Structure 1
């Protein structure tokens, strides 16, 4: 089930499913150590007439965020029981605390007693072995712990958090001997008050609320995160002194101010597009750890597919996401990503497949040996190259080039040295895995990124008056471009090709003519102009042959894409529609537009993206070609970052063309950045 409404402060990340059940709880790193491990934590309501969980079909609800913030707004009604309920959740921006406000409204003409139940099914350190839950009488809370991971579950009725304490609780075992968990105890309105349990355990707290006739009442719940019992006590004290209401309010205000730092004039676009743009910025931030990792996705539901997750930092994804944020003006935030990469680079000058948020190497399926028994590097060369590319723009946009010496010495020089030397006699890069992590060869996306990375390194060298390296990197980049023109353009297809594979028997490269949306990189990384006839032919072929011929539409990755494939009718559905691939084509349309009317198709692609998001504005990796339902992980950080970048380019070109139409000087955002050095 797709994840929805992510909330984070960079240390704690929580995800809900589409029924608003708490599913993923990451701490102390965003994307590492899922303390819930995809197990469902319940929230329920008891009345003398009946009981319901928040995901029950009789509780009709709508879920969204509160304005343009990282606080949820979930409103629902149980008509038969005469109850309305509004929930607002947030992760505090100063403390590692999840806060929930519950507003109850009684639709009946008599006073009522209502009991609220918050259940946590935790698997600390990601497994359910050796956990402990106990009732802490000093806090009036449940405390969960194992090793150096502590979480407390607390509540209070009304705004006076100094009177915190649950009215009852249940602690017990689960997932053994037929035991489902303590959430079952809540359904009759009576909890067992067992004071402690260990092993595979869970816990539930109760808060009794008096509802006046035709009146309302509020309740507060919170979860504190810590590494020790002393830290739990300190954090609980902070919540009770500050008050959960003040915490939720400061969190709401913080994210409004954070969005206001974006440097773009959103008045150029419709309000719904502007709101979706802001939502995408916030979703990207939820998947960023405060120590620099930009995580691809944190949807643990993907575990059912391969027993692994997307909760890793791929340098390629991270670089392109950081680039979109840098264009928005968040350079102080993205600087931590580049520091992460600087720490991660190998002595040989390349970055590995992917990383855990703590900086350790992530799992990989790239072999160190080829079928002939020879050693090969298990890398995607574009991951190293794109960090170089993004790092240059990061310092240029942030006006921090004079402070970039450490990046130059510790990352640029070794990385560019590797890129410049990892090549064959033709000038093409040696084989590595493609961006889709499926094929070992020489790929158009990779060579475009290598070209961009080497040019970026040359500019760094020029800035630091390193003339020899400047010329070396520049010449290496030009050799890559010349080799692409010679070996990766097909006269037969009248377009560029996606890959070359080495044929050992023939001692030559053989072309892969499969049409692939990633060919957009040849213009986006500025190897060729967007209006180069060869690029135009390539991009038009992508639009014509990779567009999904169903009511859903969108552009697939490549012809006969097998990943999550739902049909073999590749003439109609060459692959599932991906958000990033559809937006890549929109980028090209924007780049070649000469008048406002020529931006219409790009706007349609942007709106296609918005239309196929979840109602809360969350973008998956791909969608079902017949139903439009999300497929694979949700949200995918790269999808949201691509939306941000395309809308930025759309606004820039729109502004440029409007000024041109009025006879004003043509100053696009890109030119502005060159003349002013970036956002102020």
Structure 2
């Protein structure tokens, strides 16, 4: 992200929305964790590659791998089986479309190949992953399916012409959640055999599933009407369950959901914007899913969405900070993006709050943190940075979108994978690739095409 300079038109707009909140942001920063701009996290891997048997492997950090064109097969693997797998990858990529031109199109292709490798992946000596199981990353702690990450991947695949793969991801969630009751777990085992631990359920999972389904099951999502009708029938129980979950969670006089862990993945005792905004987005999506869930439930969801939006504005507006507090007690949060297209339909005051959050959440090497009150360790997070690129592109903020996309691409690993984190010195860190970030990058570039 560029250094902020007086006279920059974008900065001028941001500063107008910040107003006196700058003082509050400083107070929040000083009240938070000690500044540790040199915090270090290792890069766990440089990327992934697929061998001739179809097994997925990680690349050691610093590998700087070269792949066969259009594949995730190493260029050094020249046996017949490996070449056949590489050809399969190229055929899969060619069956869809890549957004953007030049380096953007190449970056989208590379992100799609990483996503493709992480869906239904197989690991040597372990139970096979189920079809449609998209793991967050290829490291033990990330080798699970998060409904949020899966939702973004499904939307990215549908947008780029890989509709069948997108449906398969939602079908995995339908099967994995069936035995979990009416709630959604924080994450699921990629084998489809339940959950990995006793983490509390996350209400936002229902919202993310509905949001993704509204895109994947839209009338114009595919030309194959028979396949679309089949997908809608198969996924209806999942979407009925998700809609019912959100209606029940907002069925009181205040119409706000109860506290729940959100994308920060922390135990929360107070309602956060990260939960409220996704619940709202899910209800809005359910309104669009009348051909799937029926007119009655879709209408009920739409009516409830209007009430929830009013409640969200009353609780969190006009600044839309993480917990709805003041500038002196609370910080801005990346969840403001969840209120805006392409996730939410738009909420009064949310775009100004989102623009203001860019400065509050910026990190020294560029990119942003999950929130202004996140750890002050100098580390940028690519999920939020690419999310903001997507929001900017969808809002017509082309300059900001371009800046965030370019920053993300400049901080990939030597093998071209988008890492989860970037350190203060610009070094990639943690797991790479990260499915959520890859999907966001794809959608951001596509959004620039859609909003020239």
- Report the structure number with the largest CA radius of gyration: 1
**Cα deviation 1:234-273 (Å, max 9, x = unaligned):** xxxxxxxxxxx3323222222222211223454xx2x222
Structure-1 residue corresponding to 2:215:
393
8 Å CA contact 2:47, 2:59 repeated in 1? yes
Structure-2 residue corresponding to 1:279:
110
**Cα deviation 1:487-541 (Å, max 9, x = unaligned):** 1114xxxx2122359xxxxxxx9x9722112221110355443xx6612321221
Name stretches of at least 5 consecutive residues in structure 1 with no aligned partner: 21-61, 74-87, 90-100, 102-244, 301-308, 367-377, 502-508, 567-572, 655-680
Task: Determine which of 621, 641, 656 is the counterpart of 2:420.
Answer: 621
RMSD, matched Cα: 2.7
CA positional deviation for 1:11 = 5.9
Structure-1 residue corresponding to 2:338:
521
Structure-1 residue corresponding to 2:44:
2
Distance 1:589 1:457, change over 3 A: closer
Task: Determine which of 248, 251, 263 is the counterpart of 1:421.
Answer: 248
Distance, in Å, in 1 between the alignment partners of 2:202 and 2:349 is 26
Distance, in Å, in 1 between the alignment partners of 2:398 and 2:112 is 23
8 Å CA contact 2:153, 2:166 repeated in 1? no
Matched residue of 2:331: which SS? coil
8 Å CA contact 1:498, 1:512 repeated in 2? no
Structure-2 residue corresponding to 1:403:
230
Structure-2 residue corresponding to 1:170:
none
Structure-2 residue corresponding to 1:475:
303
Verify: 1:250 aligned to 2:90, yes or no.
no
Structure-1 residue corresponding to 2:203:
381
8 Å CA contact 1:449, 1:525 repeated in 2? no
Task: Determine which of 55, 78, 81 is the counterpart of 1:12.
Answer: 55
CA positional deviation for 1:295 = 0.2
Structure-2 residue corresponding to 1:534:
349
Structure-2 residue corresponding to 1:312:
144
Matched residue of 1:15: which SS? strand
8 Å CA contact 2:50, 2:74 repeated in 1? no
Distance, in Å, in 1 between the alignment partners of 2:324 and 2:271 is 5
Matched residue of 2:119: which SS? coil
**Cα deviation 1:606-641 (Å, max 9, x = unaligned):** 11111100122111111111x222222222111111
Matched residue of 1:600: which SS? helix
Distance, in Å, in 2 between the alignment partners of 1:469 and 1:260 is 39
Matched residue of 1:357: which SS? coil
Distance 1:297 1:392, change over 3 A: same
Distance, in Å, in 2 between the alignment partners of 1:3 and 1:469 is 45
Matched residue of 1:544: which SS? helix
CA positional deviation for 1:3 = 1.2
Residue-pair matches, total: 392
> By percentage of residues, which structure has more strand?
1
Structure 1-normalised TM-score?
A: 0.54
Q: What aligned pairs does 1:496-507 form with structure 2 within 5 A after superposition?
A: 496-499=320-323
Structure 1 stretches (4+) deviating beyond 6 angstroms?
A: none
Matched residue of 1:7: which SS? strand
**Relative contact order higher in (CA < 8 Å, ≥ 6 apart):** 2
8 Å CA contact 1:5, 1:16 repeated in 2? yes
Name stretches of at least 5 consecutive residues in structure 2 with no aligned partner: 1-42, 121-129
Question: Which has the higher mean CA deviation after the structures are superposed, 639-648 or 391-400?
Answer: 391-400
> By percentage of residues, which structure has more helix?
2
Distance 1:265 1:517, change over 3 A: closer
Structure-1 residue corresponding to 2:315:
487
Distance 1:528 1:632, change over 3 A: same
Structure 2-normalised TM-score?
A: 0.80
Distance, in Å, in 1 between the alignment partners of 2:348 and 2:253 is 28
Structure-2 residue corresponding to 1:447:
276
Distance, in Å, in 1 between the alignment partners of 2:258 and 2:380 is 31
Matched residue of 2:49: which SS? strand
Distance, in Å, in 1 between the alignment partners of 2:228 and 2:285 is 12
Distance, in Å, in 2 between the alignment partners of 1:420 and 1:468 is 13
Q: What aligned pairs does 1:65-84 form with structure 2 within 5 A after superposition?
A: 65-73=67-75
